[in-house]
Amino acid sequence: VDPAFRSDLRKVRNLSKKLARKLFHAMLRYGPKLDKKQVLLGRFVDVGAELYAQTTSIALATTRIASGKSKDPESLRQTVHYFCRLSRGKIAALFKEVSSNADSQGYQVARRMLEGE
C-alpha cells in the first residue's frame, strides 16, 4: 500500500470496527425482530458499501502508482484522499441516522396511507 494512504486505511479499519459494534448492538436491542428493521439494515449496508468503495479506490490507486500507469501520481493521491473524505462524511451521517431517525413515525404514516385514511 502506498504510504500516503495509510491514514485513510486506518480510518477505514476503525469505521469497520464501529460498524460491527453498531450492528452487534442492534442485534442485542431488536433480537430476532431486526430483520423487520429494513431501513436500519439499509443504513448498515450503505456504510459497508462506502467502506468497500474507499478500500477499492485506495487499492486501485496504489496499483496504478506502483506499476507506473499513473501519469500524475500526486493528483491521483489527492483525488483518492478527497473521495475518502467525502465518503467518511456520508458514513458519519449514516451512523447518526442509526441512533436518531424518524423510522417509526414514517412507518406509522405509511400504514395510515395504506389503510386509506
**The three cell numbers locating residue 93:** 451521517
pLDDT at site 100:
82
- Please state the domain count of the chain: 1
Which DSSP category does 116 fall into? T
Residues 2 and 62: beta-carbon distance below 8 Å: yes
pTM for this one? Answer: 0.87
Q: What pLDDT, on the 0 to 100 scale, is given for residue 116? A: 84
Helix (H) or strand (E) holding 111: helix 103-115
Structure confidence at residue 97 (pLDDT): 92
For 77, other C-beta atoms within 10 Å of its C-beta total: 19
* Predicted confidence (pLDDT) at residue 117 exceeds the cutoff of 80: no
**What's residue 7's pLDDT?**
97
Domain with residue 111: its CATH number is: 1.20.140.10
Using one digit for the tens of pLDDT, what is the confidence trace for 67-103?
999 899 999 999 999 999 999 999 999 999 998 887 7
89: cell is 462524511
Distance CA(65)–CA(75), nearest Å, equals 11
Neighbours of 21 (CB within 10 A): 10
84 phi and psi, to 5 degrees?
-65, -40
- Residue 36 is part of which domain span? 3-115
To the nearest whole percent, how much of the chain has pLDDT over 70?
99
